[in-house]
Amino acid sequence: MKSEALIVTGPGLEMDTMFVNLGPQHPSTHGVLRLGLTLAGEVITKAFPDIGYLHRGTEKLMEARNYHQCVILTDRWDYCSAMPNNLAFCLSAEKLMAVAIPPRAQALRVIMCELNRIASHLIFLGTYGIDIGAFTPFLYAFREREMILDLYEKCCGARLTYNYIRLGGVAADIDSDWVAKCREFLEYFKPRLDEYDTLLSFNPIFLARTQEVGLIPKEAAVGWGLSGPNLRGSGVSYDVRKSEPYCGYEAYDFDVPVGTHGSCWDRYFCRVQEMRQSVRILEAALTKLPSGELMAKGLAKVPRPPAGEAYAHVEASRGDLGIYLVSDGGVAPYRIHVRAPCFINLAILQEILIGKKVADVIAVLGSFDIVLGEVDR
Amino acid sequence: MNPLAGADAVARLLAAVPKAEIASSPVKDYPTIRLAAPADLLLAARLLKGDLGFMYLEMVTAVDWLGPVNLGGFVCGGNSNPLSRKPAAPPVSPVPGPGVSYRPMLDLLWSFGNLGENRKIFLRLELPRDRAEVPSLTSLFAAADWQEREAFDLFGIRFTGHPNLIKILTPDFLQGHPLRKDYVHAKDRYDEE
């Protein structure tokens, strides 16, 4: 974007810079993120994202816990969408143990993760609207999210940190009543997506604030290791569900929406379109839900995966969530590393904020959809 | 992903990088190459990025092979709830499983992706714990910036040539590198008496 600010240079005309702390307690930083901004007038000359305020050391904690206890800790990374966290951890451990997951459990994992994607993108839609100054969409988004949380509560008892996907399968079954309720939700939700488009996506004020702001070219997006809707917003069609299908995603028919020039609006609209695709996946999964077991047979109560290393990654709501797991044959993981998409997505801020005006910082930051629980782990 | 899909890239790497070999302990299902010396890293990374199309640095991490984790590295406050049961002994055994040898080494791991051809390749390099120094990849991959800072903060690995190698996750006053297996927590002002 062409900067409208005029910076006068010349002898005796040097501009004083000002240092502004944005956060860590600020409603628009979506958690405890601190941005140290150096400003020349209204224009940012240096940006320093400061993280770690929510660092709980889960990777270390897991080294002294058994695998079932670790699943509980995974919920605490991306707490807005905890199901894919459970899934990524379980997939990596199951890879080491070479367990075959029953088909019904596979389908349930897909259903829960896609519902979580919708719930998580709804939070984004609502809070991004608020960041830009549109309060109303937030109320609509949370009305719909509430219905998903009710579905979760009915199935596994929890609304935020589920611990639902377990080693070898899933914790609880769904009945026909749940399936009917879920279908009811999908039917209710589809027209709501059109409503969001009229309310927010194509709102002229919203477009003006986001369409030309925070541009990330394709090469920069790949070079900085962005993933998820942030990468796809820049026009790179990379989705782990397509590139390395897990849980039988290859059997579902869905598209990977991509943006055109990597603006805040492209990232936003990728997420909105992803919700439509999730609805498609959910409808297919509910229709051909297989019957059978929920848990793999022959899994020890306290698993001891054979010594070795495994890497498994999933397309979580916010990007490519990878788990690198090292086992030394003991009951606790010897080492676990989380490739946290939010952490890696956030690093590009120090580059793209330079030259932007202060008023655009919130629009850019919000468009990355970060959850500090995952940034800091 | 078909692990053999990367066979061509693996062969090119093995031919170009001296003493590189297929790792004896691979990341399951992925091509994994072990480098012999830190100096080979930039050579391998340049080849991967420039000629082979691996533009996506997916992950930078490390494993400390010293042995079972020292439980002094955890803060274990007493539970004031009278109904709580005493926690079971932490599941850490001093004896490694078959095929694992504990040694005072840090095993570094990089993962590179070729998004267009849908391939992935892992590089690894073993460094002594007391002299863990390796060239930074920030000049080739912007994504290395924070991930190397994370490895520096949690493992104490020095990435030479990194423009801004400072702590990223742990607080400024914290001494030591928490993910090292012998890390011991020093009581600070936030711990309960």
Is the pLDDT at B66 greater than 70? The verdict is: yes
In a domain, residue B88? The reply is no
Which position has the token pair 């830190």? B38
Closest-CA distance, A163 to chain B, in angstroms, reads 20
pLDDT digits (tens, 9 = 90+) for A85-107: 999 999 999 999 888 899 999 99
Q: Which domains does chain A have, with CATH numbers?
A: 58-376 (1.10.645.10)
B142 vs A59, A223, A332: nearest CB: A223
In a domain, residue B77? The reply is no
A367 close to A128: Cβ distance less than 8 angstroms: yes
Contact B98 A329 (CB under 8 A): yes
| Cα–Cα distances in angstroms (integers) from residue A106 to residues A87, A127, A311, A359, B130, in the given order | 10, 32, 19, 45, 45
Structural domain tally of chain B? 1
Q: How many helices (H) and strands (E) does chain A have?
A: 15, 8
Contact B30 A311 (CB under 8 A): yes
Question: What 3-state class would DSSP assign to B8?
Answer: helix
ipTM entry:
0.86
Residue B146: closest CA among chain A residues belongs to which residue?
A: A347
Tell me which residue range forms the domain holding B175.
1-69+102-185
Distance CA B133, CA A38 (A): 32
In a domain, residue B193? The reply is no
Contact A311 B28 (CB under 8 A): yes
pLDDT digits (tens, 9 = 90+) for A305-363: 888 899 999 999 999 999 999 998 888 899 999 999 999 999 998 888 888 888 888 88
CATH code of B143's domain: 3.30.460.80
Contact A347 B142 (CB under 8 A): yes
Closest-CA distance, A231 to chain B, in angstroms, reads 11
A34 close to A53: Cβ distance less than 8 angstroms: yes
In a domain, residue B75? The reply is no
A353 close to A56: Cβ distance less than 8 angstroms: no
A198 close to A204: Cβ distance less than 8 angstroms: no
Contact A347 B27 (CB under 8 A): no
Q: What is the mean pLDDT of chain B?
A: 83
Average pLDDT (A133-144) is: 89
Q: A265 or B72: which carries more pLDDT confidence?
A: A265
Closest-CA distance, B95 to chain A, in angstroms, reads 8
Q: B12 or B56: which carries more pLDDT confidence?
A: B56
User: For residue A368, which residues of chain B lie inside 8 Å, CB to CB?
Assistant: none
In a domain, residue B12? The reply is yes
In a domain, residue B78? The reply is no
- What is the crossing angle of helices A176-196 and A103-132, to 10°? 30
In this prediction, residue A102 carries a pLDDT of 92
A68 touches chain B (CB under 8 A): no
Residue B137: closest CA among chain A residues belongs to which residue?
A: A223
In a domain, residue B91? The reply is no
Question: What 3-state class would DSSP assign to A271?
Answer: helix
Is the pLDDT at B79 greater than 70? The verdict is: no
Q: What is the mean pLDDT of chain A?
A: 88
B98 vs A219, A307, A322: nearest CB: A307
In a domain, residue B21? The reply is yes
Closest-CA distance, A204 to chain B, in angstroms, reads 34
Distance CA A14, CA A104 (A): 67
